[in-house]
Structure 1
């Protein structure tokens, strides 16, 4: 798999029936290794090791309903009280991050109401807060580190 703009982490692979899987520490199972999954796993480990978010507050690949359409978010990090702190949208490294990507995460955030948003293709990372009054993004240099309540 391609090198990404994230720190390295200890990962486990498994191979069967012409598929390679990677172990997801959040879902506690092996998942088929696709380019987007490679980015998602790096991002999860980055958020846990570099930003200190506990595993117990991280959720990966869950269904979300938007205008009667079933969608799936990539990563959500909760506050200890259950409200949503961060929504992360992961794309494969060959996918260019553009306005469509930001529109997608903004639509998800209309339902989720997170404090922060992150969009990454593993190479480029964008962090922002949504300004709901002006319906615009406030871009940040990084996400905040986890602070115990």
Structure 2
């Protein structure tokens, strides 16, 4: 897999039926290794190892319903009180992050109401703080969590 713009982490892999799977620390199972999953797993390790976020506060790939459409978010980090601190959208490294990517995460956040957003393709990372009062997001250099 492609080298990403994250620190180096140790991953567990499994080869089954000529397909490689990577162990997900949150879901506690092996997941088929796709380019997007490679980014998602790096992001999970970055959150738990570098940002020191408890695995117990992280949720991965859960279904949400937005305007009668079934969607699936990539990563959510909860606050201790049950509110959502961070919503993360992961894309494969070959996927360019565009305004549409930000529209996608903003649509999800209308329902989830996370304080912070992160969009990453593993190469480029974007961090935002939500300003709900003015209905906008403010770009940050890093996550203050």
Which TM-score band (shorter chain)?
Answer: over 0.9
CA distance in 1, matches of 2:94, 2:123: 9
- TM-score with structure 2 length normalisation? 0.98
Name 1:56's counterpart in structure 2: 56
Q: CA deviation at 1:17?
A: 1.1
Name 1:34's counterpart in structure 2: 34
The 5-angstrom pairing of residues 89-104 of structure 1 reads: 89-104=89-104
Q: CA deviation at 1:18?
A: 2.0
Q: CA RMSD in A?
A: 0.8
- CA-to-partner distance for each residue in 1:67-113, whole Å, 9 max, x for gaps? 01110000000001111000000000000001000000000000000
CA distance in 2, matches of 1:77, 1:134: 23
Structure 1 segments, 4+ long, off by >3 Å, are none
CA distance in 2, matches of 1:103, 1:34: 24
Structure 2 unmatched runs, 5+: none
The 5-angstrom pairing of residues 95-134 of structure 1 reads: 95-134=95-134
Does 1:2 find its partner at 2:2?
A: yes
CA distance in 2, matches of 1:111, 1:140: 22
Q: CA deviation at 1:132?
A: 2.5
- TM-score with structure 1 length normalisation? 0.95
Structure 1 unmatched runs, 5+: none
